[in-house]
Structure formats: structure tokens, C-alpha cells
Chains A and B, each alone.
Chain A
């Protein structure tokens, strides 16, 4: 079992290191067709070939939002996506894991040997999909087609004096909160649910797990639904026009406004949670492997934590999202820590609104 030789310009494999696996579009025994993102564009990984030594060959290419939506709505075959791709890369690697696909491949010595090169479509006749290679939802378990698929425009109104650093700050904070909302509601990509569950099983011993939660969720938002800036011409007042999921934009604005209105009340709830955690010395203990029975809190303390989290959820109108956190967390302590960190992220955006920079 050999693979035909392909000629092409060799590329650094660093180019695919920032690709994050979003979901499989075809997974029958093996992940044949997968969707990746680099935080901006959608990348398709199409399995092509394999040799006796277990080296797999993948065709990798970026695709536009329109083409991907066309494929998922069964109006465009995979062949169209391949033939209209601006660049075609071939990745060869031993086994089925690329560095970005698996979380445990964390050190260079453990990464599989890979070879990446750029090829022309003329060499790929043996690997090209058929003319009727349309999407079929029975070939994957990762997608929920009843959810919103097509991204739409929505505005984030801004005003006042803005510096470039403020834009950087806003986008960083906004995309983290956006990713949180994306992951905690039922979405088109079901696999983000498993990522949330995995991240909530981090040690939660200090700031890193909190940072990790928002940063990783952001990486798991498919390029199709990532925050794309559609329009940005600023003359105060103005707006940033995003192309993404509009109901998340509405939820973020509502939560920011509600937090500002009842800042004291939400803070009191957070303080009560912090007091329980610090009095039990649980702030820096790895509790990822414990259920409520093993965390060393009595029934009254656990009920108190739940009541405070529920109170925050009600005040910010994020009941569904907080409930998802509760069901995915290993215990009430991790759940409470995650709720507090969400409020903290939201607080950074409230600060911008307080300074008159967000206009709603």
C-alpha cells in the first residue's frame, strides 16, 4: 500500500499549529472530513491516503463562510470547496493525530513527525471528491442542524474617545464573553459541549483555569460563527458591525446593562461565595476529581453556594447559561468559581460602559 508522489513547495508545519479542531463533518470509523479554525478562517481537513507505515495524507485548505454554509445546506458539493480554495496544502503525518487536534500533545518531542507542502490541484485527481459529494448529516454526530447556521449582522454601539489599545482590550474581552455564551447554549456544533466539560475538569487552583476556560472556549468557536468585523468606520458615536450570532450579542448587552444596574447586589452574591470558599481553604485546591460529597463542605454551605449562583443568574438573566455550567461542573465549588469568573469577565466590559465608551 503506497501513496503516489506529489511535488510541491515545502512549508513550515508551524502554519497548522494554531489550527483548532472544531468538529468532524464526516466520521465513519475514522475522521474523514474535519472542520478546523485558526480563529479567523474555516479550514477543511480532508483525509486522502494512507501507506503501509501508517502515514496519513490530508488535503488542507481554507474556505469562505459562504461556501461552507453552501456545503452544509447541501447546495455546494465538497468538490466546489476544493476547486475554489485559494491554496491547497498536503499534510502527511504518522497516525491520526495532528498537534492541534489533541489536547494532550503538548511538548514538541511528543508531536508526530509531520510534513506540510503546497500543491496544485492538477496533481490531486486521485483524491478529488465526486461531483455529487454533498454534505450528509448521517455521517457525523457533531452537528445539530436545527440550530442557527448562517451568521448575521449585529451592532455593538460605541461612543467617546477611543485609542487603538481600547479596541484591542474590547475585542479581547468581548470575544471571551461571546465564546462563553456560545458554549453554554445548545449550538450548531455539539462538540463544544465536550470542551466545556473538559475545561471545567481543570484543577481550578488559581487564575490559570479561569483564563484557560475563556481562552480555550474562544478557540473552539467555529470560524463560521467567530466574531467577524463586517464594518468599522468610527466617528463618535458609532458602532462596530459584527457578523456572527446576533442573539449572543443581545445577551451580552443585556447582561452588561443588568450588571451595571444591580452592581452591588451581584457583588454581594460573589462575596458570599468567596467567603465560603476561603473559609474552607478551597481556593487553591485541585477539586477536579471530586463530587460534592468529597469537597468538605456541609449541606448548608453547598445550598448557599447554589442559591448565590442562582441569584446571580437571575439578576443577569443568564439562567440557561449558568445551568449549563452547573450540569457540566464536577462539583459545586468549581461551578461557583466558574460563575464568579464569568461575572469578572463581564465586569471588564461594564467598566468600558461606565467610562461611556459602550453606548447602550
Chain B
């Protein structure tokens, strides 16, 4: 990361270059509006956020290309590139975290219809990224994984508990059916299960959710 002195110097140089390049008044206005908006709201502009994300990605790519000295770093870069939604995962620091649990015989996921489709295996962070924009890092990371359960009973118990407060929860959100999946370490990485049986699964690029379904039963 650049030093603040370097940034200040670059800003000064940039202003001089801009003047010498004869930028239009409109361009200056746009820049000042963005800057003022940032000052007033205390939040970076969308353009600034995009630029930061781009820089992060460049830094990560740079690291993976030049990290000959650090085996651990190159290993994590390799894993990140093998994961599906790798670009989004790369923007979240330290993600996935603690996702090295061994796979068990079966895993269970709620699906909307008796026949599972590819959309059933899309993480929330991909379907609705805006929902997680301002969430802490660990939540943004989890949003890029899909939720699975160790057993159908644990899943049923948890969904029924929520449905007591919100009766449409199963019918309209998580689905009235349960898909049993057979997963191996070739499909992705998973976290350790919580006491309620829930764990997060980060898919590899090669993972085919529909093909991994062994059977679909009613919840």
C-alpha cells in the first residue's frame, strides 16, 4: 500500500498534469461533486469503491504472480483462483476462513421444487450482492458460500423453528423440499458444522450442484 506522502504528492502532480492536459470544466465538476458527496456522507463514491476493488484485485494478482518466497501465500492464491466466484471472494479479506473440514457421507440443502436446478446452488452474495455491501467481512465471506446441513432432521428442526414466527418461510424462501448431496473434497471446501448441523460450502469452479444431488425428498 502506498504511503500517504506519496499519495499527496501524486495528487499535486495529478492536478498539475490535469491543468496542462486541459481537462474540461465538466470533468472537474464531476470530480468535485464526487469529492463533496464523499465528504458530506462520509462514504466513498461509487467510482472510488470500484477503483478500490480493482486495486485490490490487481494487488492479489500481483501477489500470486510474484510470491515465490511465500509458499503459504501462493497456496492461498491457488485455492482462491480454483473457487467459483473467485473474483468476489478475492475482494473479501481472509476468505474462506476455517473451511478445511472433512466431508461426510451426505449433506442436505433446501430446494424449491422436487427437481433441483442450478439456481438452487447460488449463494445469496451472488443473487443479491447489495444486501451484504456494508456487512462485516465474515458475513460477506459467508454470503459467498451455500448453506448445508449435516442431517435432514437438523435442517427440518431449524426451518420449522423459523416457520413458527414466519409461516411462509419454507414455502416462499428456502423451499419445501430437501436435496441430499454427495460431496467430496473435489467439489469445494466446507466449514466445520455448528451444533445445529449447519455449515458453509464454498464451491470449486468444476462443481455441478445438480449432478451432486442423490435424491430429493419432501420437507
A236 to B4, CA, bound (A): 54
CB neighbours of B4 from chain A (8 A): 282, 285, 287, 290, 294-296
Contact string, A17-33, partner B, CB cutoff 8 A, digits 1/0? 00000000010111011
A102 to B39, CA, bound (A): 19
CB of A29 within 8 A of CB of B161, answer no
Contact string, A222-244, partner B, CB cutoff 8 A, digits 1/0? 00000000000000000000000
CB of A102 within 8 A of CB of B164, answer no
With A197-B136, A285-B4 in contact, is A32–B39 under 8 Å at CB? no
Confirm or deny: B27 has a beta carbon within 8 angstroms of a beta carbon on chain A: no
Confirm or deny: A138 has a beta carbon within 8 angstroms of a beta carbon on chain B: yes
Within 8 Å by CB of A129, from B42, B166, B174, lies B166
A97 to B130, CA, bound (A): 8
Within 8 Å by CB of B134, from A26, A48, A102, lies A102
Confirm or deny: A247 has a beta carbon within 8 angstroms of a beta carbon on chain B: no
CB neighbours of B131 from chain A (8 A): 95-97
Interface residues of A in 287-304 (CB under 8 A from B): 287, 289-291, 293-296
Confirm or deny: A163 has a beta carbon within 8 angstroms of a beta carbon on chain B: no
Give, as a whole number of angstroms, the nearest-CB distance from A196 to chain B.
11
CB of A203 within 8 A of CB of B42, answer yes
CB neighbours of B38 from chain A (8 A): 203
Confirm or deny: B5 has a beta carbon within 8 angstroms of a beta carbon on chain A: yes
CB neighbours of B2 from chain A (8 A): 294
CB of B166 within 8 A of CB of A32, answer yes
Within 8 Å by CB of A95, from B5, B128, B158, B166, lies B128
Within 8 Å by CB of A28, from B8, B158, B167, B195, lies B158
Within 8 Å by CB of A203, from B39, B168, B173, lies B39
CB of A202 within 8 A of CB of B1, answer no
CB neighbours of B130 from chain A (8 A): 95, 97, 102, 104
With A97-B131, A104-B133, A138-B196 in contact, is A26–B167 under 8 Å at CB? no
CB of A126 within 8 A of CB of B42, answer no
Confirm or deny: B162 has a beta carbon within 8 angstroms of a beta carbon on chain A: yes
With A50-B173, A97-B131, A203-B39 in contact, is A130–B164 under 8 Å at CB? yes
CB neighbours of B39 from chain A (8 A): 203, 205-206, 208
Give, as a whole number of angstroms, the nearest-CB distance from B134 to chain A.
5
Give, as a whole number of angstroms, the nearest-CB distance from A131 to chain B.
9
CB of B1 within 8 A of CB of A48, answer no
A48 to B40, CA, bound (A): 36
Confirm or deny: B124 has a beta carbon within 8 angstroms of a beta carbon on chain A: yes
CB neighbours of B43 from chain A (8 A): 103-104, 106, 202
CB of B42 within 8 A of CB of A212, answer yes
Confirm or deny: A192 has a beta carbon within 8 angstroms of a beta carbon on chain B: no
Confirm or deny: B41 has a beta carbon within 8 angstroms of a beta carbon on chain A: yes
Pick from A130, A206, A291, A295 the residue with the most CB of B within 10 Å: A130
CB of A103 within 8 A of CB of B172, answer no
Confirm or deny: B20 has a beta carbon within 8 angstroms of a beta carbon on chain A: no
Contact string, B141-176, partner A, CB cutoff 8 A, digits 1/0? 000000100000000001101101111110011100
Give, as a whole number of angstroms, the nearest-CB distance from A337 to chain B.
13
Sorted from nearest, which 9 A-B pairs have the closest CB atoms? Answer: A202-B42, A130-B164, A133-B164, A133-B165, A296-B4, A129-B165, A50-B172, A194-B136, A32-B166
16 A-B pairs (CB sep. < 8 Å): A26-B165, A29-B174, A32-B162, A47-B166, A78-B165, A95-B131, A96-B131, A102-B130, A106-B41, A127-B166, A127-B168, A136-B161, A138-B161, A194-B135, A202-B43, A295-B4
Task: Using CB atoms and an 8 Å cutoff, list the residues of chain A in contact with chain B.
Answer: 1, 26, 28-30, 32-33, 46-50, 78, 95-97, 102-104, 106, 126-130, 132-133, 136, 138-139, 194, 197-199, 202-203, 205-206, 208-209, 212, 282, 285, 287, 289-291, 293-296
Task: Using CB atoms and an 8 Å cutoff, list the residues of chain B in contact with chain A.
Answer: 1-5, 8, 38-43, 52, 124, 128, 130-131, 133-136, 147, 158-159, 161-162, 164-169, 172-174, 195-196
